[in-house]
Amino acid sequence: MNQSEPLRVLHIIEKIEKNNGVTAVVLNYFRQINKEKVIFDFITHGDSEQDLVKEILDLGGRIYHFPELSFRNLRTCSQKAEILFHRCGYQIVHCHIPNAAFIYLKAARNERVPIRIIHSHNSKGAETTIKKLRNDILHKIGKYYANQKMACSKMAADYLFGTIRKVFLLNNAIDLEKYKFRNEDRQMIRNKLHLDEKIVLGHVGRFSLQKNHVFLLEILERLIRKNEKYRLLLVGNGELEKGIKSIAKQKKIQDYIIFAGVQKEVSKYLCAMDFFLLPSLFEGLPVVGVEAQAVGLPCFMSDKITREVEITEQVRFLNLNEEIWVEAIENHKEQNRDQMVEKIINNFTVAGYCIQTEAERLVEYYFKLTNSDIYRMMRL
């Protein structure tokens, strides 16, 4: 590498899309990282959202489009990866898909890429037993070809590596200026969605079994029996969206739900909410939970989620029992979110969730690796 050029790090992600939490984390870092020192390139799979593609290219990144991750495409992905690594001479490959690491980190080792990082973003392997068994096997192989370990939380590290020892913990940090509470954004979205005088329960996430949308419907159904001012605002899309709409119709609560779809400016929708609900069955460390706290929302989260996500005093972890959640929502005492901004910024900075500070730490980590004995041995 020419010392006058930035270090190019190749990130392997599943999709370039707004509805993907891992993508959101990686792009948060790319937007803030010192691009005179480090540039992110990407391997992604299947279709990509073009506005994000343009942003990555404008930031100086390169994108390599691979076919969808599937059994029939394994050979193609492996061959394309080896050709890419041979041609481009990457020093660091950073894989965010543990169950695909056996493809990419093996190819990276075959082409003598010195630094091969496997990054854990979750705390559970899959939603079904069969998929979990499959992923356990794939993870074991992927870890064999990695020589560096990273995770978004201690829980995510313990899940994939069985320990936090020798694991670099990188927080799912955010841009605090972007996620600062603004009353004008709140009023704009609430007016747009006809939510004046309503009590808005909010959720941001892909419609998947992991996110537990059915539980949200159960909570809403119980609340509106007592007070018809409650509304449920759902931001995101996914394979189970149609099914959730069908259940809502069966329960005759569809008129109390706003399906907002994928939104580019999620922060404005968070400002419009009165509560943020995250009843996930499992998570690594949910970046949306971090974002919700940044705008001052009271956050009720499943007790399956790591306590490491708790940054403000507005978070409660609850057992997945509908009555417990209903009681917590009804008994919550509202606070003035305008007056919380300064305290929130201080909490986030102390906890290590300020993206500017964490991006500097990531640069230091990458350069420390390129000066390590592992790097020098692989370059011989």
Domain 183-351, architecture per CATH:
3-Layer(aba) Sandwich (3.40)
Per-residue model confidence as pLDDT tens digits over 172-188: 999 999 999 999 999 99
Q: What is the rounded CA–CA span in Å between residue 140 and residue 35?
A: 34
Residues of the chain with CATH 3.40.50.2000: 7-173+354-379, 183-351
Predicted pLDDT of residue 355: 96
Give whole-number Cα distances, 71 to 56, 57, 77, 371, in Å. 28, 30, 10, 37
Contacts of 273 (CB under 8 A, 6+ apart): 200, 201, 202, 233, 292, 297
Average pLDDT for residues 281-298, to the nearest whole number? Answer: 95
Q: What is the rounded CA–CA span in Å between residue 238 and residue 244?
A: 10
Per-residue model confidence as pLDDT tens digits over 186-235: 999 999 999 999 999 999 999 999 999 999 999 999 999 999 999 999 99
Q: Is the pLDDT of residue 380 over 60?
A: no
Name the pTM for this structure: 0.87
Taking phi first (over 0 means left), then psi (-120 to 50 degrees means alpha), and beta for anything else, what does residue 335 get? beta
Give whole-number Cα distances, 190 to 82, 186, 341, in Å. 50, 6, 21
Q: Is the pLDDT of residue 1 over 70?
A: no
Q: Is the pLDDT of residue 374 over 80?
A: no
Query: What is the DSSP code (8-state) at residue 174?
Result: B
Q: What is the rounded CA–CA span in Å between residue 26 and residue 38?
A: 13
Lowest mean pLDDT among 20-29, 48-57, 131-140, 212-221: 131-140
Fold of 7-173+354-379: Rossmann fold (3.40.50)
> What confidence tier does 376 reach under pLDDT thresholds 50, 70, 90?
low
